[in-house]
Amino acid sequence: MIMSKTFYSTYKKEIHHFIDNALKEDIQDGDHSSLACLDNDKNSKASLLVKEPGIIAGVELAEIIFKRQNPEFTIDFTIKDGVEVQPGDIVFTIEGPQLDLLATERLVLNCMQRMSGIASLTQRLSKKINHTSCRLLDTRKTTPNFRYPEKWAVRIGGGINHRMGLFDMIMLKDNHIDFAGSVAEALDRTDNYLKQNNLKLPVIVEVRDVKEIKACLSFDWIHRLLLDNMPPQALREALRLIDGKFDTEASGNITEESITAIAETGVDYVSLGALTHSAKNIDLSLKAVN
């Protein structure tokens, strides 16, 4: 489990790759708007202004973006990641060369607005289940090439990251099972694959009914069962059958209105793609300071 404060150190290479590609996409052969009328030998100052309430996220990433463009930037932070903010709050003030400041402005705002929206939704949903032992997970339903900032925002909002991608966990979903022929066949093949390749990866299996749950009970090395599209009563029946043998995760069509009842069944985790694909951006702006 990657805590938000260690996310950058864990995924430093991937985050730098994202920043470099994003800056290249935006700047290419030059920021001609700024080149036409500004001077990079002159320093200017700007403040990040909050325009609507929420949980701020992406502050640490903003510093990394600015310093990757120009290590000489100086930044005065007044609000940290994960803090609740209100309109009019100033998150930080940055000073540095004019062209470099404006070349990075939009990338910083795009990241922070999106991340703050995700962190705000994650915290709101987490509060709905914090009276239970259930924890909130994200999914792979992320924006291509923006997965790391989005999952970082989930951590800042108090959620837990599911697998980062296809490479760090085995998750046998309905298509794997249907293509293989059955749950048991998919698991037998998975067991052989792990042994042949000397891999130690956690294995999650998506189950759709009692028959598939029973098929998993003899494979004691399974890490977690994902109980797919089950209403609360069906979840309770599934949990009685599993009887603590595996960790459990509820997923599929879970909403803000239904999440509390799902968590109260006793399931260990609940996962929502909505955390990263449906969060509303928080409005922020970077304004010049005279």
| Residues facing 251 on adjacent strands | 228, 271
* Extended beta strands in the chain, E state: 43-50, 54-55, 74-77, 84-85, 90-97, 135-137, 170-172, 203-207, 224-228, 247-251, 269-271, 284-289
Residue with tokens 């879970």: 254
Q: Which of 206, 212, 249, 268 is catalytic?
A: 206
Nearest CA among 225, 227, 184 for reference residue 203: 225
Bridging pattern class, strands 135-137 and 170-172 = unpaired
Decide: residue 36, CB within 10 A, 0-12 exposed, 13-18 middle, 19+ buried. Answer: exposed
Q: In angstroms, rounded to a whole number, what is the distance separating the alpha carbons of residues 288 and 281?
A: 22
Report, in angstroms and rounded to the nearest whole number, the Rg of the chain calculated over CA atoms: 22
Q: Which of 89, 95, 228, 237 is catalytic?
A: 228
CB neighbours of residue 60 within 10 Å: 18
Q: Catalytic annotation on 106?
A: yes
Q: Which of 51, 141, 189, 280 is catalytic?
A: 141
Q: Catalytic annotation on 257?
A: no
Q: Catalytic annotation on 128?
A: no
80 neighbors 59 (Cβ within 8 angstroms): yes
Q: Catalytic annotation on 52?
A: no
Q: Catalytic annotation on 151?
A: no
Query: What stretch of H or E contains 129?
Result: helix 98-129
Q: In angstroms, rounded to a whole number, what is the distance separating the alpha carbons of residues 103 and 176?
A: 45
Angle at alpha carbon of residue 142, lines to 51 and 262, rounded to 5° = 90
Q: Which of 67, 106, 128, 236 is catalytic?
A: 106
Q: Which of 127, 173, 211, 287 is catalytic?
A: 173
157 neighbors 130 (Cβ within 8 angstroms): no
| 223 φ, ψ (degrees, to nearest 5) | -80, -45
**Residues noted as catalytic:** 106, 141, 173, 206, 228
